[in-house]
Structure 1
Amino acid sequence: MPIITLARLSDLHASDWDALLPGPQPFLRHAFLSTLEDSGCVGGRSGWQPAHRLFRDEAGRLLAALPAYVKTHSYGEYVFDWAWADACQRAGIRYYPKLLCAVPFTPVGGARLLGETQAAGMLLDVLSGELQEQGLSGLHVNFTDPAADALLAGREGWLWRLGCQFHWFNRDYRDFQDFLDALASRKRKQLRKEREQVAGQGIAFDWREGHQLDEAEWDFVHACYANTYQVRGQAPYLTRRFFSLLAERMPEAIRVVLARRGGRPVAMAFSLIDGDSLYGRYWGCLAEFDRLHFETCFYQGIEYALAQGLGRFDAGAQGEHKLIRGFEPVITRSWHYLLHPGLRQAVADFLRQEEAGVLAYADEARGQLPFRQG
């Protein structure tokens, strides 16, 4: 089988890669993934070594592909397997490096096995069979779509893991007030009060597309993004160059909302958009204002989605504070093929227990949604 490993996605023509995508989701596009590489966010000493897999037929036609990375740690994945790695270390089993099929730093569900279904399945089988000779402990596929779930469910040795996120759905609301009217009275008053508090501090909002920001504004966007990590003593995943390169390569998919006070920007939220969804990815502020996070990250996105007729707003991985703002629990899935039989069995036992807890948590969360009964 002619399988090729690509250390640089830019070595493949963008149209060849993008032809394999099943829909418009921006994170899987050649432009997004190659920007991560070309801006230094992955590769080098990042612990994310690009190792994309391509499957071509005998005539050289590209049939399937996987966005894949050799990982030497578990940062930036949002499917947390640190406990598995720690258990391996205690048992004298090597956990790193591992092979991960995912979009770096992006807990957004979507296609992972690109191209023809049969070819993608064959590619998976070859990769799982080559782990030992390549010195890899396992193959992991994060935040899959239903097509990948169906393909992986029928393969021996694969373990699935559930997670829970919170997404906002447009239930045919006419505008933000119509959405508020769907909430219970107490919750509706809380949201309205939060928005009034932000407006009362003299803060206004300005939405931009990717081509509408200049380099000084991109400096501000990156400074805000980096600050969210630096205040926790962490290094940001994305470089300053990432934002400028992405704005060059796919400006039509970028949406940035700038929060201004007295005409001066004080906060921002960075999102990407596809045909029906808004994806809130990064946020940051350089000055503290009461309730500004909720307005910038949630209410502005909901209002924008309504104005554009979008059906869904995915505001990121973190959780429960979204519930009272109308974000509903959504089950996510990841898949794991672990080479060591003892580790595989231990993880399988853990995942069975964890799954019951995740499903119970999602059910409980649905009971806390702020919508009016009936």
Structure 2
Amino acid sequence: MASSEIILEAVSSISQIPARDWDACANPVPDPGSLDGLDTLASSGPLGAAPTTSRQRYNPFVSHAFFSALEASNSACARTGWGPRHLLAKLDGKIAGIVPCFLKSHSQGEYVFDRGWADAYERAGGRYYPKLQASVPFTPATGPRLLIRDGVDQERIGNALAGGLMGLCDATSASSVHVTFAREAEWKFLAEHGFLQRTDQQFHWHNQGYRHFEDFLATLNSRHRKAIKRERRDALANGITIHALTGRDITEDAWDAFFAFYMETGSRKWGRPYLTRTFFSLIGENMAKDVLLIMAQRNGRWIAGAINFIGSDTLFGRNWGAIEHHPFLHFEVCYYQAIDFAIGRGLKTVEAGAQGEHKIARGYLPQTTFSAHYIADAGLRGAIDEYLRRERAYVAEAARELTEAGPFRKAADEPS
């Protein structure tokens, strides 16, 4: 029997894709009745992870609600240089796969830096923009990028999506396609289709089955253990209290305060913050159970805060801001409170966002991140390929050295 034909289509808004279909591809939840009482899923193709449970598959950033908030709030839209071009693969008229994709006129808000490539290509007479970005806007967090529904041939749909990205590149006169913060399996899969491989690193905290924050501290050497205790104490020295808000506890007043923090810090760091105030209201309306807002208060007034998103096994730290600056408050709100929450929820990992070697002293260790890049021009592709070979070796060696210099006790260290 002949296989059904796969139809590829690009749409200019997530509103054109039913939430049920998007989420069935992005965060598939199996039918419990088909699992013989076991909540276990095995990957059916090269794009998935090892066998896992359905509760371990939820990533809030690839949900329909998150992308809808980005687009409906005009945070990610053509005017801001993020024109949606979501790629769909349809099988028998049903959406079987999706790649969240944007046609971009700049390289801002991506956290995988290619401006040097753009400058070199344009000096040589080429036109680098527009380009296609397959990612979650403004979000340097690893997650699936080839979203494929359960119950279909994963490899066949994956092949169609990979080819579709290259076809979309040609159809939009883009110079390139950049699939950033992908899972390692997708990175390898796309390399088989001619995408170039790039690595970078972040710093993540890993839960070793701790019951309390003190259990984590006991794994550190004496110097770092004492430093963290002092930082946590000093962060609250000026009458500051910390409040962890999630679900219905997050009011519009709390969002107003957090947005003020975000704007103040974002304006200093980036010049123009990416997210609008409406974005946060939409997140609060539709995703409050997935949000952890860590807020600091002094004299009855909110003074600082950090927003985190809760996955099924990972806490994703995102934006931080403050209107008062106190020693070590940033570390307490962004790093230590995140560890406390992860331990309490039994989460395996805290991803603390992009950059920041200072996180190592707080127990966050190097973690490789992966991106895949299709470059249409053969000359540019060859030059970038050679550069990336050297860069991957550098990233691997840097991660090894930083891990060895980490704060954890060695076998010869003093007992805790």
The answer to whether TM tops 0.5 is: yes
Q: Are residue 41 (structure 1) and residue 79 (structure 2) matched?
A: no
What is the CA–CA distance in structure 1 between the aligned matches of 2:115 and 2:353, rounded to whole Å?
Answer: 21
Q: Percent identity?
A: 42
CA contact (8 A) 2:201 2:355 kept: no
Q: Are residue 139 (structure 1) and residue 139 (structure 2) matched?
A: no
- Partner of residue 288, structure 1: 325
What is the CA–CA distance in structure 1 between the aligned matches of 2:145 and 2:290, rounded to whole Å?
Answer: 20
* Offset of residue 54 of structure 1: 0.6
CA contact (8 A) 2:87 2:164 kept: no
* Offset of residue 353 of structure 1: 1.0
What is the CA–CA distance in structure 2 between the aligned matches of 1:233 and 1:346, rounded to whole Å?
Answer: 29
1:27-66 superposed Cα distances (whole Å, 9 cap, x missing partner): 0000000110000101131000000011112x20111110
- Partner of residue 229, structure 1: 266
Q: Are residue 209 (structure 1) and residue 242 (structure 2) matched?
A: no
1:172-222 superposed Cα distances (whole Å, 9 cap, x missing partner): 112111111111001111111111111222111111114222222211111
CA contact (8 A) 2:213 2:339 kept: yes
Of 80-89 and 262-271, deviating more is 262-271
Out of 82, 85, 89, the residue aligned to residue 122 of structure 2 is: 89
What is the CA–CA distance in structure 1 between the aligned matches of 2:167 and 2:101, rounded to whole Å?
Answer: 16
CA contact (8 A) 1:51 1:67 kept: yes
- Partner of residue 217, structure 2: 180
Out of 176, 189, 206, the residue aligned to residue 169 of structure 1 is: 206
1:291-331 superposed Cα distances (whole Å, 9 cap, x missing partner): 11011110111111111111111111122000011101101
* Offset of residue 233 of structure 1: 6.2
Out of 11, 36, 39, the residue aligned to residue 16 of structure 2 is: 11
Aligned 1:14-163 pairs, distance under 5 A: 14-22=19-27, 23-57=57-91, 59-115=92-148, 116-155=154-193, 157-163=194-200
CA contact (8 A) 2:232 2:332 kept: yes
What is the CA–CA distance in structure 1 between the aligned matches of 2:298 and 2:162, rounded to whole Å?
Answer: 52
Out of 334, 352, 360, the residue aligned to residue 323 of structure 1 is: 360
What is the CA–CA distance in structure 1 between the aligned matches of 2:215 and 2:122, rounded to whole Å?
Answer: 54
1:231-282 superposed Cα distances (whole Å, 9 cap, x missing partner): 2461100000000011111111011011011222110110100111111101
Are residues 85 and 242 of structure 1, via their aligned partners in 2, closer, same or farther at CA, if it must alter by over 3 Å?
same
Q: Which amino acid aligns with 2:241?
A: A
Are residues 364 and 349 of structure 1, via their aligned partners in 2, closer, same or farther at CA, if it must alter by over 3 Å?
same
Where does the alignment leave 5 or more consecutive residues of structure 2 unmatched? 1-5, 28-56, 149-153, 412-416
Q: Which amino acid aligns with 1:166?
A: F
What is the CA–CA distance in structure 1 between the aligned matches of 2:168 and 2:274, rounded to whole Å?
Answer: 30
CA contact (8 A) 1:324 1:368 kept: no
Flag as ranges the 4+ runs of structure 1 deviating above 2 A. 129-134
- Partner of residue 396, structure 2: 359
1:71-104 superposed Cα distances (whole Å, 9 cap, x missing partner): 1100011110000000011101110001111000
What is the CA–CA distance in structure 2 between the aligned matches of 1:195 and 1:98, rounded to whole Å?
Answer: 44
Over the residues paired in the alignment, what is the CA RMSD in angstroms?
Answer: 1.2
Are residues 255 and 233 of structure 1, via their aligned partners in 2, closer, same or farther at CA, if it must alter by over 3 Å?
closer
CA contact (8 A) 2:236 2:329 kept: no
What is the CA–CA distance in structure 2 between the aligned matches of 1:153 and 1:279, rounded to whole Å?
Answer: 27
Is the partner of 1:75 in helix, strand or coil? Answer: coil
TM-score, structure 1 normalization? 0.97
Aligned 1:187-202 pairs, distance under 5 A: 187-202=224-239
* Offset of residue 107 of structure 1: 0.7
Are residues 131 and 199 of structure 1, via their aligned partners in 2, closer, same or farther at CA, if it must alter by over 3 Å?
closer
CA contact (8 A) 2:363 2:408 kept: yes
Out of 339, 342, 356, the residue aligned to residue 302 of structure 1 is: 339
What is the CA–CA distance in structure 2 between the aligned matches of 1:270 and 1:123, rounded to whole Å?
Answer: 32
Q: Which amino acid aligns with 2:315?
A: L
* Offset of residue 21 of structure 1: 2.1
Number of positions where the alignment pairs a residue of Structure 1 with one of Structure 2: 372
Is the partner of 1:95 in helix, strand or coil? Answer: coil
- Partner of residue 251, structure 1: 288
Where does the alignment leave 5 or more consecutive residues of structure 1 unmatched? none
What is the CA–CA distance in structure 2 between the aligned matches of 1:204 and 1:315, rounded to whole Å?
Answer: 22
Q: Which amino acid aligns with 1:227?
A: E
CA contact (8 A) 2:88 2:98 kept: yes
What is the CA–CA distance in structure 2 between the aligned matches of 1:133 and 1:32, rounded to whole Å?
Answer: 27
Of 32-41 and 144-153, deviating more is 144-153
Are residues 133 and 208 of structure 1, via their aligned partners in 2, closer, same or farther at CA, if it must alter by over 3 Å?
closer
Of 140-149 and 263-272, deviating more is 140-149
